[in-house]
Amino acid sequence: MKRIAIITSGGDAPGMNTALRSVVRKAINHKLEVYGIQRGYVGLLKEQIIPLDSRSVGGILNQGGTVLKTGRCSEIRTEKGIKKAVSILKKFKIEGLVAIGGDGSMRAAERISRHGICAVSIPASIDNDVYGTDETVGFDTAIDTAIDAVDKIRDTAASHERIFIVEVMGREHGFLAIAIGIAAGAEFVIIPEIKYDIKKICNELKNQVKKGKTSIIIIHAEGSGDVYDFAEKIQKAINMEVRVSSLGYIQRGGSPSARSRVLATLFGAHAVKLLRQGKNNRLVALRQGRVTDVPYSQVKGKEKKPDKDLYNLVKHLAI
């Protein structure tokens, strides 16, 4: 293999730049030529492909977002889009592809890999919802960002003796919400995967107040329904002031944490190793503390499930 390309796609995640730097420099170490695809698959289909050298990735390790830029692309989900992407990659004589992103990026890379281009994926998403890896690049940073905000909100909750419902990201999954709930010592976590019983929650809240709690934090993942409806129901049942605070995109940005940087760097180096070995269609992964890889066929179509013990631990500690 002589020439590889890197793409960042889907929602940006802190550490994408760190992974990019690692891939570029590790590949250059092994005398590979490296190209960067700009603006995700949208940019690929527009031939926005530029050569990268060691200097192109200098000073980016600690920057959030992605210097290659990213985007969401509907055309790449079609067979026509895949064929076009493959012919563009071949035109640029690209033999290997590293896709940095979430599920959607992986799916496109897998389809591209069926057409004579070796493709591997690096899981990067603040949601940590990629099946096959215990952790995605950016997840740890997003937890840090959110708990910093929740700690501040707790000051107001405690001073005013209020219930705060903090909406965090997670359109389909609650991994981020659970981790924030644990790390910030929330009283409840509401996630899309587990149905909640509003009556039960209100009863438990009342019990907690009876036992002397004067402020409450509830972490509500955005995919769990309208947070204001939820707040209204709580407000009706409990004689305490209720406020909603939505953290939004603040969770996606910022300088990657030490853990996200190390993970991204190791993932990047592993991706290059796989391409050099001619290993196709694999997901770089963290499993039981080790950086490894899994065939995409073992991951395809599978959904990562939340850890119920962790979810319950939030409740068990909120007594």
Interface residues toward ligand F6P, by CB under 6 A = 11, 125-127, 169-171, 222, 252
The minimum distance between CB 171 and ligand F6P, in angstroms, equals 3
CB nearer to ligand F6P: give 127 or 293.
127
- The catalytic residue among 103, 127, 144, 293 is 127
Nearest CB to ligand F6P, comparing residues 119 and 146: 146
Q: How far is the CB of 213 from ligand F6P (least distance, A)?
A: 29
Please state, in angstroms and rounded to a whole number, the distance separating the CA atoms of residues 2 and 116: 14
The answer to whether residue 127 is catalytic is yes
User: How far apart are CB 32 and ligand F6P at their closest, in Å?
Assistant: 29
Nearer to ligand F6P, 36 or 138 (CB): 138
Q: How far is the CB of 259 from ligand F6P (least distance, A)?
A: 18
Report which residue's Cβ sits closest to ligand F6P: 11
* For ligand F6P, the closer CB: 140 or 222: 222
* Residues annotated as catalytic (active site), given as ranges: 127
